[in-house]
């Protein structure tokens, strides 16, 4: 029996040192500024350059092709490795379909393609949990169980500066268009069954951070949880979030990350938020 | 034409790509499923171009080698869901033609079938009403045509027509399309490719045959225009059915039905025609067609009834708010209020006015925000008078109303909203600054008519200048760390308001301030603390 290989896509927003440490394979989505200006997410463009460009020009994104997954899967499939491929919500991107298409071309291989129903750190935390379980010598079945547990208990809340990016990319209903147009209102959003859903509106960022802290504290209660925090291009706000959340629940985040190009295209640079899930064995 | 070899097939595919290139932006605009990101046309175009590029890199001439190279290119360049599906169709297409030098009608039909099979297999949850459905019906049509004739042009034409008909049906299969009033974007993209291909075959002969499916395409795929008036309906019954019989003369049928109504379509070929007409005499339409064959799948609908259904409430939950002041009205609207009732302090709106606002709100369930304690009763009367389900949220002040709107979730149900809005509006504190309208002594404070007076949560605050009173009101309401929002009335100019704001900011550095134009009469400032 071969090794267990963990594959994800660039929307997992995992820091490169974790990707290297846990031997995770990241298939990039693409960021498209025009027909002639296409970047592989997380490879061709630094985050700072991406956000600078996004401020100049709206972007769109595109899922990896089935061939890109096939290239990753095939050599491992041929040497009998087992592949666990965890990806961005199918309600937000067709990446899972590309992965499934590639899997269907390798009918004899052991490939589990999982729709995480999340993007950014909810996906990233699930991938990390899987990679840790695999590293700890779990079987493929056990790793999949870990992923199931993580995904089933994942809660994600984030605040954006404006809904403009989500609307442009069609990732949120048009009914929300009125939000915060006159008052200084910041939407707090959540992920619900793979979709971005409005959760609450708050007056201003400071109240938003307080609300996020309260939401995390409520989620923790007396349970054993781990959480991760993330921002786009808002380091000052992010530092405040980190301080607030840590103070409120009494322990720090186990993942600190930045929203990459693809997710950033759809939420905008002002995003900050957290994801938490039930602690599993290795955490 | 009975066989294609690789040069012709390449030409056919290039024509498909060219057509797609021209139409891609229009296809982008149709995109609503699965993610309405408006790039289906572009993704399909990019994928198809990658396929053509793959094709150009192969040196071998056989049709098997060329399609295999094309499929490889598509797999490499697939973009978007629609691109992935397209690449799968090409995979299957190539698999079926592997090793062949040329392809006839049966080969092409088999290749299309294989393509559809691949596409369905690749998706864990294939959704009908998408490109998949259009491609499947195209493959079925190709099979049907290939069984009857070896002519590839005919196969292409028949396939195109069936695909166009199926595309027109996609809104029936996928509610999200119907809601948006569009056909499936991926399906349209697939049809456009077939159309481009058909153009090549078309060069050979009988161009006139094309006009029928194109007409069908146009009439059925454009969003149905929303009728404004019932009087606009001249012909009441939308009548649709299939007519089956040997060698049906479509032109003759069309002529016979022409004077019986409007929006007439008679499409199809050979032994099946689809008939669609709006008529006041559906019986006569059916009788006329019985001369030619048998009737199937008959649908007759009264369009006036359908129209009423269409005109009905288009969202579940609406909000009516009583507001004085244009600035505040705009702010309420920006938060999602549907109808504003103008509420001057001295002339409260009648139940009638509130009722009419409720009635014109396009929703079955309506929440009313009175925003004034004197209006709550009048608003509650509306509950008994309206046929809609009406809830009055007893907001007593403008800040309470705004706080309630902040908690409003347009997609959540009435119960959830009322409880969330209730909790939100009681969590905000209200301050008001106005002038006394008469001499009075309240709570041990003496006020003289014309004095500025403040109210902090209804409690009188001692008089003084406008800025002093306002500052006193603020200091009564805050404990530190809150957000204080000032809405200045029509009697305070923007520069005056900003000057006062600067003073408050230095007097209360521990709170955040925001200033907006409320435009309300009588009240110089309305203040919310939250």
Neighbours of B25 (CB within 10 A): 12
* Chain A residue with the nearest C-alpha to that of B317: A175
B400 shares a domain with B288:
no
Task: Write out the CATH class of domain A155-278.
Answer: alpha beta
Question: Can you give the three-state secondary structure of B178-223, one letter per residue?
Answer: HHHCCCCHHHHHHHHHHHHHHHHHHCCCCHHHHHHHHHHHHHHHCC
Nearest to A190 by CA among A219, A233, A147, A164: A219
Read off the DSSP letter of residue A174.
G
Distance, in angstroms, between A167 CA and closest chain B CA? 9
The reported pLDDT for the residue numbered B207 is 38
Best residue of B41, B72, B80, B333 to probe chain A, by most A CBs closer than 10 Å: B80
Number of A:B CB contacts under 8 A? 116
Q: In whole angstroms, give the CA distance from residue B154 to residue B105.
A: 9
| Residue B476: C-alpha distances to residues B440, B459, B511, B527 (Å) | 21, 10, 13, 12
Q: Which of B174, B204, B221 is the last residue of a domain?
A: B221
**The pair of three-digit structure tokens given for residue B279, joined into one six-digit string:** 């008529």
The reported pLDDT for the residue numbered B309 is 44
The reported pLDDT for the residue numbered B209 is 39
Question: What SS3 class is residue A84?
Answer: strand
The reported pLDDT for the residue numbered B36 is 66
Q: In whole angstroms, give the CA distance from residue B196 to residue B202.
A: 10
**The pair of three-digit structure tokens given for residue B320, joined into one six-digit string:** 């009516």
Q: In whole angstroms, give the CA distance from residue A206 to residue A208.
A: 5
**The pair of three-digit structure tokens given for residue B150, joined into one six-digit string:** 């070896």
- CATH code at position B263: 3.30.70
Q: In whole angstroms, give the CA distance from residue A119 to residue A11.
A: 6
Count of residues making up chain B: 530
| Residue B472: C-alpha distances to residues A35, B360, B477 (Å) | 60, 42, 9
- Say which of B72, B91, B336 has its CB closest to residue A178: B336
Q: Which CATH fold topology does A4-152 show? A: Rossmann fold (3.40.50)
B10 close contact with A: CB closer than 8 A:
no
Helix axes B63-77, B6-30, angle to 10 degrees: 30
B336 close contact with A: CB closer than 8 A:
yes
What are the chain A neighbours of B78 within 8 Å (beta carbons)? Answer: 65-67, 98, 101
Question: What SS3 class is residue B344?
Answer: coil
B330 to A66: CB separation less than 8 angstroms, yes or no: no
Distance, in angstroms, between A104 CA and closest chain B CA? 6
Count of residues making up chain A: 283
* Chain B residue with the nearest C-alpha to that of A31: B79
Question: What SS3 class is residue A19?
Answer: helix
Helices and strands of chain B, counted as H and E runs:
20, 18
B123 close contact with A: CB closer than 8 A:
yes
Long-range contacts of B337-346 (CB under 8 A, 24+ apart): B337/B369, B337/B405, B338/B362, B338/B363, B343/B371, B343/B372, B343/B375, B344/B521, B345/B372, B345/B521, B345/B522, B345/B523, B346/B522
The reported pLDDT for the residue numbered B213 is 32
Domain that holds residue B375: 313-423
The reported pLDDT for the residue numbered B277 is 80
- CATH code at position B353: 3.40.50.510
Best residue of B36, B79, B118 to probe chain A, by most A CBs closer than 10 Å: B79
Q: In whole angstroms, give the CA distance from residue B487 to residue B528.
A: 8
List Cβ neighbours of B183 (8 Å cut-off, separation of 6 or more). B30, B167, B168, B170, B171, B177, B221
Confidence of residue A1 (pLDDT cuts 50, 70, 90): low
Best residue of A61, A65, A162 to probe chain B, by most B CBs closer than 10 Å: A65
- Say which of B118, B333, B514 has its CB closest to residue A184: B514
B407 to A185: CB separation less than 8 angstroms, yes or no: no
B123 shares a domain with B28:
yes
Answer yes or no: are the C-beta atoms of A232 and A264 closer than 8 Å.
yes
Answer yes or no: are the C-beta atoms of B119 and B135 closer than 8 Å.
yes
Answer yes or no: are the C-beta atoms of B274 and B266 closer than 8 Å.
yes
B334 to A182: CB separation less than 8 angstroms, yes or no: yes
Distance, in angstroms, between B80 CA and closest chain A CA? 6
DSSP of A236-272, one letter per residue? HHHHHHHHHHHHHHSS--SEEEE--HHHHHHH-TT-E
Handedness of CA A100, A101, A104, A105 (dihedral sign): negative
pLDDT at A76 over 90: yes
B236 shares a domain with B100:
no
Kindly report the average pLDDT of chain A as a whole number.
91
List Cβ neighbours of A135 (8 Å cut-off, separation of 6 or more). A22
pLDDT digits (tens, 9 = 90+) for A106-123: 989 999 999 999 999 999
B305 shares a domain with B248:
yes
Give the total number of structural domains in chain B: 4
Q: In whole angstroms, give the CA distance from residue A232 to residue A126.
A: 20
The reported pLDDT for the residue numbered B275 is 76
pLDDT at A124 over 90: yes
B138 shares a domain with B23:
yes
**The pair of three-digit structure tokens given for residue A178, joined into one six-digit string:** 């009125």
B170 shares a domain with B89:
yes
| Residue B33: C-alpha distances to residues A90, A92, A279, B36, B67 (Å) | 12, 11, 36, 6, 29
Helix axes A95-104, B80-97, angle to 10 degrees: 20
The reported pLDDT for the residue numbered B218 is 29
Helix axes B398-406, B326-334, angle to 10 degrees: 20
Answer yes or no: are the C-beta atoms of B437 and B454 closer than 8 Å.
no
B410 to A66: CB separation less than 8 angstroms, yes or no: no
**The pair of three-digit structure tokens given for residue B308, joined into one six-digit string:** 């009423």
B38 close contact with A: CB closer than 8 A:
yes
B87 shares a domain with B171:
yes
What are the chain B neighbours of A201 within 8 Å (beta carbons)? Answer: 406-407
> Mean pLDDT in each 10-residue stretch from start to end of chain B (530 residues)?
82 86 84 70 86 83 89 81 86 92 92 92 79 92 90 89 88 81 88 85 50 31 34 72 83 85 68 78 91 86 60 74 92 89 73 87 92 85 87 94 90 90 91 85 79 89 89 92 91 94 94 92 92
List Cβ neighbours of A261 (8 Å cut-off, separation of 6 or more). A10, A31, A39, A41, A42, A45, A47, A50, A59, A61
Q: What backbone torsions phi and psi does residue A108 show, to the nearest 5 degrees?
A: -90, -10
Q: Which of B221, B247, B280 is the last residue of a domain?
A: B221
Question: What SS3 class is residue B500?
Answer: helix
Q: Which of B198, B221, B244 is the last residue of a domain?
A: B221
Average pLDDT of span A236-261: 95
B467 shares a domain with B392:
no
The reported pLDDT for the residue numbered B458 is 86
Q: In whole angstroms, give the CA distance from residue A143 to residue A135.
A: 10
Give the residue extent of every domain in chain A. Answer: 4-152, 155-278
**The pair of three-digit structure tokens given for residue B412, joined into one six-digit string:** 């959540």
pLDDT digits (tens, 9 = 90+) for A168-193: 777 765 445 445 567 888 889 999 88
A98 to B123: CB separation less than 8 angstroms, yes or no: no
Beta bridge partners of A27: A9
B217 shares a domain with B119:
yes
What are the chain A neighbours of B122 within 8 Å (beta carbons)? Answer: 66, 97, 100-101, 104
List Cβ neighbours of B496 (8 Å cut-off, separation of 6 or more). B488
Best residue of B42, B76, B78 to probe chain A, by most A CBs closer than 10 Å: B78
B467 shares a domain with B416:
no
B305 shares a domain with B317:
no
List Cβ neighbours of B267 (8 Å cut-off, separation of 6 or more). B161, B165, B212, B213, B215, B216, B250, B273, B274
Query: pTM (2 decimals)?
Result: 0.67
Read off the DSSP letter of residue B33.
S
B363 shares a domain with B480:
no
The reported pLDDT for the residue numbered B228 is 33
B425 close contact with A: CB closer than 8 A:
no
Residues 371-410 of B with CB under 8 A from A: 402, 406-407, 409-410
**The pair of three-digit structure tokens given for residue B260, joined into one six-digit string:** 């019986």
The reported pLDDT for the residue numbered B34 is 64
DSSP of B60-117, one letter per residue? --SHHHHHHHHHHHHHHH--HHHHHHHHHHHHHHHHHHTT-SEEEHHHHHHHHHHHHH
% helix / strand / coil in chain A, to the nearest 5? 40, 25, 30
């Amino acid at each position: 029996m071969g090794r267990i290989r963990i594959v994800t896509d660039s929307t997992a927003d995992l820091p490169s040192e974790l990707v290297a440490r846990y031997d995770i394979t990241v298939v990039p989505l693409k960021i498209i500024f025009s027909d002639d200006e296409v970047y592989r997410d997380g490879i061709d463009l630094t985050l700072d350059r991406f956000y600078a460009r996004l401020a100049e020009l709206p972007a769109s994104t595109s899922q990896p092709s089935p061939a890109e997954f096939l290239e990753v899967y095939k050599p491992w499939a041929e040497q009998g490795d087992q592949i666990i491929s965890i990806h961005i919500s199918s309600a937000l991107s067709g990446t899972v379909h590309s992965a499934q298409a590639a899997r269907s071309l390798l009918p004899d291989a052991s490939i589990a393609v999982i729709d995480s129903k999340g993007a950014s750190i909810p996906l990233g935390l699930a991938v990390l949990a899987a990679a840790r379980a695999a590293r700890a010598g779990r079987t493929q079945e056990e790793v999949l169980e870990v992923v199931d547990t993580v995904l089933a208990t994942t809660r994600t809340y984030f605040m954006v500066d404006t809904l403009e990016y989500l609307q442009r990319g069609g990732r949120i209903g048009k009914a929300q268009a009125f939000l915060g147009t006159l008052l200084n209102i910041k939407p707090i959003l959540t992920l619900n069954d793979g979709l971005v859903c409005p959760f609450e509106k708050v007056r201003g960022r400071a109240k938003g951070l307080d609300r996020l802290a309260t939401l995390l504290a409520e989620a923790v209660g007396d349970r054993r949880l781990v959480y991760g925090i993330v921002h786009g291009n808002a380091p000052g706000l992010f530092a405040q979030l980190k301080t607030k959340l840590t103070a409120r629940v009494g322990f720090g985040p186990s993942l600190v990350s930045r929203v990459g190009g693809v997710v950033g295209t759809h939420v905008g640079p002002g995003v900050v938020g957290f994801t938490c899930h039930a602690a599993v064995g290795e955490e | 034409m009975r066989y294609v070899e690789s040069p012709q097939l390449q030409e056919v595919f290039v024509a498909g790509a060219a057509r797609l290139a021209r139409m891609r932006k229009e296809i982008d605009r149709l995109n609503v499923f699965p993610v309405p990101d408006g790039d289906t046309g572009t993704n399909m175009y990019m994928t198809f171009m990658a396929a053509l590029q793959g094709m150009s890199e192969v040196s071998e001439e056989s049709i098997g080698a060329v399609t295999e190279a094309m499929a490889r290119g598509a797999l490499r360049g697939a973009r978007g869901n629609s691109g992935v599906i397209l690449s799968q169709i090409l995979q299957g297409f190539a698999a079926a033609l592997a090793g062949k030098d040329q392809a006839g009608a049966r080969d092409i039909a088999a290749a299309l079938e294989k393509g559809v099979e691949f596409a369905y297999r690749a998706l864990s949850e294939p959704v009908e009403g998408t490109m998949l459905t259009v491609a499947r019906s195209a493959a079925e049509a190709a099979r049907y045509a290939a069984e009857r004739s070896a002519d590839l042009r005919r196969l292409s034409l028949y396939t195109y027509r069936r695909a166009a008909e199926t595309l027109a049906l996609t809104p029936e299969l996928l509610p999200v399309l119907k809601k948006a009033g569009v056909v499936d974007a991926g399906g349209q993209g697939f049809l456009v490719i077939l159309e481009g291909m058909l153009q090549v075959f078309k060069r050979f002969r009988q161009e006139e045959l094309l006009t029928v499916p194109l007409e069908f395409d146009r009439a059925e795929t454009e969003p149905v225009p929303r009728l404004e008036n019932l009087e606009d309906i001249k012909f009441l019954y939308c009548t649709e059915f299939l007519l089956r019989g040997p060698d049906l003369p479509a032109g003759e049928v069309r002529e016979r039905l022409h004077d019986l109504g409007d929006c007439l379509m008679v499409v199809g070929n050979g032994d099946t025609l689809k008939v669609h007409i709006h008529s006041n005499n559906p019986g006569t339409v059916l009788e006329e067609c019985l001369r030619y064959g048998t009737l199937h799948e008959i649908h007759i609908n009264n369009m006036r009834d359908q129209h009423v259904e269409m005109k009905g409430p288009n969202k579940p939950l609406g909000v009516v708010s009583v507001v004085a002041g244009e600035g505040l009205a705009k702010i309420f609207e920006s938060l999602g209020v549907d109808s504003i009732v103008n509420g001057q302090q001295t002339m409260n709106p009648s139940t009638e006015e509130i009722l009419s606002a409720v009635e014109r709100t396009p929703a079955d369930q309506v929440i009313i925000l009175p925003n004034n304690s004197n209006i709550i009763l009048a608003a509650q009367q509306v509950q008994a008078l309206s046929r809609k389900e009406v809830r009055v949220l007893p907001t007593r002040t403008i800040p309470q109303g705004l706080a309630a709107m902040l908690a409003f979730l347009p997609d959540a149900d009435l119960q959830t909203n009322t409880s969330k809005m209730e909790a939100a509006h009681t969590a905000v504190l209200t301050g008001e600054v106005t002038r006394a309208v008469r001499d009075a002594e309240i709570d041990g404070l003496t006020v003289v008519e014309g004095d500025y007076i403040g109210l902090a949560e209804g409690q009188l605050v001692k008089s003084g200048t406008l800025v002093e009173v306002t500052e006193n009101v603020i200091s009564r309401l805050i404990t530190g760390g809150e957000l204080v929002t000032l809405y200045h009335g029509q009697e305070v100019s923007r520069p005056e308001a900003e000057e006062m704001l600067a003073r408050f900011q230095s007097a209360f550095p521990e709170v955040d301030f925001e200033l907006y134009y409320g435009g309300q009469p009588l009240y110089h400032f309305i203040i919310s603390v939250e």
